A = this chain, B = another copy of it.
Amino acid sequence: VATAGMARAATPGDGDPAILELPEHSRGLGQPVVTDGYGKPSKWEANVQRRQSPGLTQTRQASVSFAPLQSLFGIVTPSGLHFERHHQGWWDIDPSRHRLMVNGLVKTPRVFTMDEIMRLPSVSRFHFIECGANTGMEWGNVAVPTCQYTHGMLSCSEFTGVPLITLLELAGADLNKGRFVLAEGADGSSMTRTIPMSLVRSGEVLVAYGQNGEMLRPENGYPLRLVVPGVQGVSWVKYLRRLELGDQPWGTKDEAVHYVDLLPDGTHRQYTSIQECKSVVTTPSGGQVLLDKGFYSISGLAWSGRGKVKRVDVSVDGGRNWRTARLQDPVMSKCLTRFNIDWVWDGKPAIIQSRAMDDTGYVQPSLRQLREVRGTRSIYHNNAVQSWLVQESGEVKNVQVS
């Protein structure tokens, strides 16, 4: 399956052969149940895949694959299309041999099996996860053609797990002295990140094993990963083996060399964690072609690491004029929100943008506004308004505007 032309209802003489000649599926017996005990998408959907961005990384084990946002609906990301970010490759770990240790400022360091963790009271919550480097290629100039590559280090799932605070309390944590938590993975990189205690205390941070109703996928940390809502993906430590309560932050490699944001004066911001309010139009978006003039439903995603999306405005004239879009229920905290707005395309060039606002009142900035404060070399935390140029030919292009 590769590409296909435009399917319109054929100009009816007698009528469309797709109607007049009954298709074979109307005239035959189909396939039985459980051809697949675990089913797959249609063969016609083979173009909907996660993908690497050519040349972005030097190896494929310290790399990233992007979710095809341009082809997704609603807010749930199918687990098979969840973006990947590995630092030392992914593993499929035997869960019966996996252990979780809690140590540091606790009365007794403790060890848990998966059996034990899964016996504890769990919660299930919908949250987005976004890599801090998402849209990072676009700080300076347009670098990639589609929203898969500009915004595809973004996914959203229903996560199930045990609030981290429950495990800390079980170990007799000293919650006065303990002001930071270190999370550590079991893979080669043994990723370590300092986790904000405020989110632990609020019960938001989860030691999760479930994702979209089943266990986490191996690429996403099976059998255990930390879920740190609103915070960049690197903190959602995969293959989680250990949690340490401490009185100081850890300054780990991914807190001191990467995931630090370079400002124009040569200073790096350290421990930048929150993914600020952001949005992107996914339909239509870069690399697509509109088939025709006429009615379109502009659709996209909005999110905020600080809470709920309150409003999304959409412009089709490059930011001069804006209309407020419809938000799809349920609007959940630190979760993707789907928005839609009607548009009749007159065939003339148009620049489509979306601008989200969260319930703290924060407004997603334009690229200009963002650069005025942070310059163009931060790599991380680019949450600027995205622009898509619809050309007369119907082709949609990734552009930046003044």
Contact of B158 with A25 in the complex, beta carbons under 8 Å: no
Contact of B33 with A64 in the complex, beta carbons under 8 Å: yes
Q: Is A115's beta carbon under 8 Å from chain B?
A: yes
Q: Is A65's beta carbon under 8 Å from chain B?
A: yes
**Interface mask (A46-71 → B, CB under 8 Å = 1, otherwise 0):** 00111110000001110111000001
Contact of A34 with B61 in the complex, beta carbons under 8 Å: no
Q: Is A392's beta carbon under 8 Å from chain B?
A: no
Stretch in contact with the other chain, from A3-11, A228-236, A351-359: A3-11
CB closest residue in chain B, given A30: B89
Contact of B41 with A214 in the complex, beta carbons under 8 Å: yes
Knowing A42-B218, A64-B33, A218-B42, say if A210 contacts B74 (CB, 8 Å): yes
Contact of A188 with B26 in the complex, beta carbons under 8 Å: yes
Contacts of A79 in B (CB 8 A): 39, 41, 78
| A40 partner, pick from B48, B80, B91, B329, beta carbons under 8 A | B80
Q: Is A32's beta carbon under 8 Å from chain B?
A: yes
Alpha-carbon distance between A44 and B222 when the two chains are bound, in angstroms = 10
CB closest residue in chain B, given A220: B39
| A26 partner, pick from B61, B63, B101, B186, beta carbons under 8 A | B186
CB closest residue in chain B, given A60: B32
Contacts of A31 in B (CB 8 A): 61, 89-91
Contact of B160 with A7 in the complex, beta carbons under 8 Å: no
Alpha-carbon distance between A84 and B81 when the two chains are bound, in angstroms = 22
Contact of B36 with A124 in the complex, beta carbons under 8 Å: no
Contacts of A38 in B (CB 8 A): 40-41, 48-50, 80-81
Which A residues form the contact surface with B (CB < 8 A)?
4-9, 12, 16, 18-19, 23, 25-45, 48-52, 59-61, 63-65, 71-82, 84-86, 88-99, 101, 111-116, 119-126, 158-160, 186-188, 190, 209-210, 212-215, 217-219, 222-223, 239, 241, 291, 294-297, 299, 326, 328-330, 332, 338, 340, 342
Contacts of A299 in B (CB 8 A): 122
Contact of B95 with A44 in the complex, beta carbons under 8 Å: yes
Knowing A41-B38, A61-B29, say if A76 contacts B76 (CB, 8 Å): yes
Contacts of A115 in B (CB 8 A): 6-8, 291
Contact of A52 with B74 in the complex, beta carbons under 8 Å: no
Contact of A213 with B73 in the complex, beta carbons under 8 Å: yes
Contact of A212 with B212 in the complex, beta carbons under 8 Å: yes
CB closest residue in chain B, given A6: B115
| A188 partner, pick from B29, B76, B123, beta carbons under 8 A | B29
Alpha-carbon distance between A212 and B39 when the two chains are bound, in angstroms = 14
Contact of A99 with B18 in the complex, beta carbons under 8 Å: yes
CB distance from A174 to the nearest CB of B (A): 23
Knowing A26-B188, A213-B76, say if A33 contacts B71 (CB, 8 Å): no
16 examples of A-B residue contacts, CB within 8 angstroms? A9-B99, A25-B93, A26-B187, A31-B90, A33-B64, A33-B86, A38-B50, A38-B81, A39-B217, A40-B217, A44-B94, A44-B95, A44-B222, A76-B76, A78-B212, A330-B330
